[in-house]
Amino acid sequence: MEAILDKLSHLWPEITMLIGACACLIAGLSSKQVVRKATPGVAMATLVASGVVLLAFGRTDTSHFLGLGAMAAYLKLAVLAMGLLLVFVATGTVDRLKQVVAAEAREGKAFEPGDDFRAEFFAFMLFSLTGVMLTAGASDLVWLFLALELTSLPTYVMVATSRDRDGALAQESAVKYFFLGALSAAVFLYGFTLIYGATGFTEFNQIAAHVQENGASPLMILGVTLSVVGVCFKIAAVPMHFYTADVYQGAATPVTAFLAFVPKAAGMIALIALLGLPLSDVNSETGAIQLPEPLVYLVALIAAVTMTVGNALGLVQTNLKRVLAYSSIAHSGYMLVGILVGPMLARSLMEANPDADTSLSNGTAAVLFYLIAYGLSTVGAFAVLGSLERKDGGEVQSYDDLAGMRLRHPFMAGVLLVSVISLVGLPPLVGFIGKLYLIGSAYAAGTSDAGHAGLYRGLVVLLILNSAMSAGYYLRIVGTAFFGEDKGQTVEAGVPLRRVGGILAALASIALGGYPNAGALAKAAKEAAEPTDRVEPAAEHEDAKERQSAFRLSDPY
C-alpha cells in the first residue's frame, strides 16, 4: 500500500491532467454555449495547474525507482509548456468545422452533442500529453507500453475529427495512422516481451542490473532492437516513417503541429529509457559501460538513413505540410545521434577523469535540449500555416499560397523566418545551439568510446551535410514568403490565438538562442541528464530485488 502511495505521490501532475481532461469533456458538452466555447481555456488552465503541481510536489531531484530520475521532471515540464503552446495553436480547429457549426447554429433548440467535437478534441489532447508525462516517469516495460499507447491513441481520434467530414482526407489519414500505429505497437511490445524473456524482469532497474551482471544475451539485443524499431514509428524515423507525410498532410494543421512534437517526444523518451537497459559492454580502454556493438550500429544506421531520407525527400516535395513532415523525419535523425552517444557518457567519462568538464559532452542532454529547440521551431512554422487560410477557406498547403506573404502578413512572415531559420540551425537561434550541443556530444563520445570515434565523427559530418541539404527546402519556404509575388491568395484565418502561439514560439526561439544568459535551458538539460545512479550497484541490487519481489512477474522459464 505504501509503495502505491509512494508512486502516486509522484503522479500528482498526471492526476491533475486527467482531472482537467475530464473537466474538458464536461465543459465541451455543456448546455451553455459560453462554457462550450471555453473548453480550450479549461485545457490551458489544466496545463498551468499541472505545471504548478509539478513544481510544488512532483520534482524528483535524485534518481527514484520511477524511471528517468531528474530527467522526468524536466521532460514533464517541457511537455506541459509545449502543450500550452499547442493548445494556443489548436484553438479554433474544431469550432470551425462545418458539422460543429451546424450543431451550434440551431436557433432556440438544444445543440447536437453528437456533432460537437470540442470535448473530445481538447480532452484527448490532454490525455495524449499525460501519456508523454507518464512515459517520462516510466520505470517498467508494462508502464512504458501503456504510456506510449496513451500518447498515441488519442492522436488517432484527433486526426480523424480535425477536418470537415465531407473531405475524406482526415479520415483516410487517421485510419492509416491507426493501423500503422497498431503495427508498430505490436513490434515494440514483442520487443518488450523478448527483453522480459531474456532477463526475467520488467522493471528497468532490475533489467539493467541483470544485464550488467550477466551481459546482454542475443535475445536481449534482439528484444531491444525490436523495441527501438517499433518506437521509430513514434519518432517518425526510418524504417517506420512511411506514414508521416500522408498523415501530416491529411490532418488539420494544428493537429499536425501536435503530431510533430508530442508523439516524437514520447518516442525519444522511450528510446532514452530503452537504450539505458542493455549497457553491458565494458570499454577496455576507458572502462566505460556502453551499448553492445550491434545496437551501436543499429542506432547509427537508423540515424544516418533517417536524416538523409528526410532531407532528400523534403527537397522534392511541393506541399508545405509534407515538407515539414520530412523535415521532422530529418530532425529525428539528428536527435538519434544524441540518443546514440548518450549512454556512452553514463558514468564513464567522469570516472575516468573526474576533473573533466562534461557540460557539452552529454548526448542525452543534447537530445533533451534539441527536443525543445525542434519543438518550438516546428510548432512556430505550423502556427504560421494555421494562422492563414486560402481565400476559398482551404488550408495553406502549397508554396504558392505563401508567396509574397511578407507584404500581407509581415508579422507572421517574421515568425516563419525565425522558425525556419532555427530549423536550418542558423545562429543565433535555438536550433543552432541545439546542433552545437549534438555535435559536441558526438565528438565527446569519442573520448569514452575511442573504438567508435570514427563512427561518431562520421555521423557529425553527415549531420553537417544534411543541415546543408535541408537549407534547400527551408530556404525555398523563406524565399517564397519573402520574394514571391503576392496575389492576395491568403487571408487571416480569424483565430488570433494561433498567431499568439506562433509569436510566442518565435520569441522563445530567439530568447533561448542568441540572448545573453540563454544558457538556462542548456544548463537545465544538462542537470536533468547527468547520469544518476539509476543503475544501482550490485550490493543494493539484492535488496531491491527482495523489496520489489511482490511486483515481479513469475519466472519465465
Partner 1 sequence: MLPEAYTIPFQLIMPAAFALGLLLPFKALGTRKGAWIYSATTSTLSFCFTLYVASQFNWSDPGRLQFVGEIPWVDNWNLGFSYGLDGMSLWLVMLTTFLMPIVVLGSLVEVKGDMRTFHFWLHILEAALIGTFIARDIVFFYVCFEFTLIPLFFLIGIFGHGEKLKAAKVFFYYTFTASLLTMAGILYVAWFNTTLTPDTPGISEVYSSIEFDPIDKPEGMSDQEWAEQEYIGQWTFNIKALWAAGRMMPFEAQILVMLAFLAGFGVKTPLFPFHTWLPLAHTEAPTAGSVDLAGLVLKLGPYGLLRLAIPMLPVAALTLAPYLAALAVIGVIYAALVCWVQKDAKKLVAYSSVSHMGFCILGLFAFDGTKDAGSIGATGAFIYMLSHGLATGGMFLCIGMLYDRFHTREIERMSGLAKIMPAWAVFFCVFAFASVGLPGLNGFIGEFLTMLGTFNSRTVNGTPILGPWFAIPAALGVILAAIYLLYLVGKIVFGPLNLPHWEDTGETGIAGGHDLSYREAMTLTPIAVVCVVIGLFPYPILRSLEPAIQEHTRFVHEEIDRIEAEAAAGAAAALDDSGLNAKSPSRQDAKEGSPEDKQTTMKPALYQTAEIASEEDLALLGIAIPKPNNTEPEKEAN
Residues touching partner 1, count (CB under 8 A): 44
User: Is 357 near partner 1 (CB under 8 A)?
Assistant: yes
d(C-alpha 300, C-alpha 288), whole Å: 19
Cβ-based neighbours of 519, under 8 Å, separated by 6 or more = none
> 38 vs 471, which CB is nearer to partner 1?
471
User: Is 444 near partner 1 (CB under 8 A)?
Assistant: yes
Cβ at position 427, least distance to partner 1 in Å: 4
Is 290 strand, coil or helix? strand
> 108 vs 516, which CB is nearer to partner 1?
516
AA letter at 404: G
> 433 vs 495, which CB is nearer to partner 1?
433
Select from 116-124, 268-276, 317-325, 457-465 the region that touches partner 1 (CB under 8 A). Answer: 457-465
User: Is 461 near partner 1 (CB under 8 A)?
Assistant: yes
Cβ at position 424, least distance to partner 1 in Å: 8
Assign residue 216 a region (left: φ > 0; alpha: ψ between -120 and 50; beta: otherwise). Answer: beta
Select from 251-259, 278-286, 426-434, 542-550 the region that touches partner 1 (CB under 8 A). Answer: 426-434
Interface with partner 1 in residues 468-527 (CB under 8 A): 468, 471-472, 475, 479, 482-483, 514-519, 522-523, 526
Cβ at position 494, least distance to partner 1 in Å: 24
Cβ at position 295, least distance to partner 1 in Å: 24
**Quick one: which of 47, 52, 25 has its CA closest to 130?**
47
AA letter at 310: G
Is 281 strand, coil or helix? strand
> 488 vs 516, which CB is nearer to partner 1?
516
Is 361 strand, coil or helix? coil
CB atoms within 10 A of CB 549: 8
**Quick one: which of 480, 500, 497 has its CA closest to 489?**
480
Cβ-based neighbours of 448, under 8 Å, separated by 6 or more = 283, 286, 288, 290, 344, 345, 348, 349, 352
Evaluate whether 105 touches 402 at the Cβ level (below 8 Å): no
Evaluate whether 84 touches 48 at the Cβ level (below 8 Å): yes
Residue of the chain from 356, 491, 538, 553 that contacts partner 1 (CB under 8 A): 356
Cell triple for 457:
565523427
x/- site string to partner 1, residues 301 to 340, per CB under 8 A? ----------------------------------------
Give the footprint of partner 1 on this chain (CB under 8 A): 353, 355-357, 359-361, 421, 424, 426-428, 432-433, 435-436, 439-440, 443-444, 446-447, 457, 460-461, 464-465, 467-468, 471-472, 475, 479, 482-483, 514-519, 522-523, 526
